[in-house]
Amino acid sequence: MPRSTTARLPAADTPLRPSGALSSVDEGDDVESRIYRAVFDSVMNQRLTPGTKLPESSLCELFGVSRSVVRKVLQRLAHDHIVQLRPNRGAIIAVPSPEETRQIFEARRGLEAIIVNLATQNATARDVAELRQQLKQEHDAMNRFDQPAWARLASSFHLGLAALARNPILERYLVEMVSRCSLIVALYEPPGNAACEHEEHERIVDCVARGDAEGAVQLMDEHLRELERNVSVQRAAPDRTLAHLLGMA
């Protein structure tokens, strides 16, 4: 039976944020947090694609900070697997290998099986209503062909289910998995494809509403396997400035 406590789902129109357990960057207004969030959100929204260079000098100029500040943020981004630091060649957005891609999806399937099982057990009628409202926003973004919003809402759907699991540790792990999968989608998935299929999300929510944990787990597994199958090995190099890629131009 669902518990009486209602978990608050992440706002669908709010950019995703890194979990506190994944980074030591505070979520305040300090400049390190602003730089971290700018890069993180741009990756999640697929403006910054894998392999994009992050020159220290450009970041210093964009944010009006010293190299020491930029280097500290890049170290933290590297800790969270968002950035790769290359000796004597600077930082780039991380480029997952095919083998790493397989391992990440394998780990995510196991993690989300636990999450959706718990979410189904815990979800209240209000929780289900909020999930359906988020699906409506997802559908609207799809019909507008708004790919960045579509990708953000798709990721927010999975994190919304994680909130309903009411296990902060699982939720923090999923934040990392979702951010790393977003890198993979940006690297490998053909342009114009949906990061997640809207109809598959709807069927998962239907199972949650019925209290069908087994069905929800099976649908989530099929959903993530389909997402993994959709990736290809082609990627295009970005042709815009770093300011554009960070959404600052």
The CATH number of residue 79's host domain is: 1.10.10.10
80 and 187 both lie in a single domain? no
In SS3 terms, the chain reads as CCCCCCCCCCCCCCCCCCCCCCCCCCCCCCHHHHHHHHHHHHHHCCCCCCCCEECHHHHHHHHCCCHHHHHHHHHHHHHCCCEEEECCCEEEECCCCHHHHHHHHHHHHHHHHHHHHHHHHHCCHHHHHHHHHHHHHHHHHHHCCCHHHHHHHHHHHHHHHHHHHCCHHHHHHHHHHHHHHHHHHHHHCCCCCCCCCHHHHHHHHHHHHHCCHHHHHHHHHHHHHHHHHCCCCCCCCCCCCHHHHCCCC
Per the structure, the complete domain to which residue 154 belongs is given by 98-229
87 and 106 both lie in a single domain? no
Q: For position 3, what pLDDT does the model report?
A: 44
Domain membership of residue 80 (yes or no) is yes
Q: For position 239, what pLDDT does the model report?
A: 57
- Which of 185, 142, 179, 143 has the alpha carbon at shortest distance from 158? 179
Domain membership of residue 200 (yes or no) is yes
Cross-strand pairs, 144: none
Domain membership of residue 127 (yes or no) is yes
Distance, CA of 131 to CA of 136 (rounded, Å): 9
For 86, the token pair is 């290359």
- Number of structural domains the chain divides into: 2
pLDDT, tens digit only, all 249 positions of the chain: 444 444 555 444 444 444 433 333 344 458 999 999 899 888 877 788 889 999 999 999 999 999 999 999 999 999 988 999 999 899 999 988 889 989 999 999 999 999 999 999 999 999 999 999 999 988 887 777 666 676 778 888 999 999 999 999 999 999 889 888 887 877 676 555 555 777 899 999 999 999 999 999 999 999 999 988 887 544 444 556 777 767 776
Domain membership of residue 9 (yes or no) is no
196 and 112 both lie in a single domain? yes
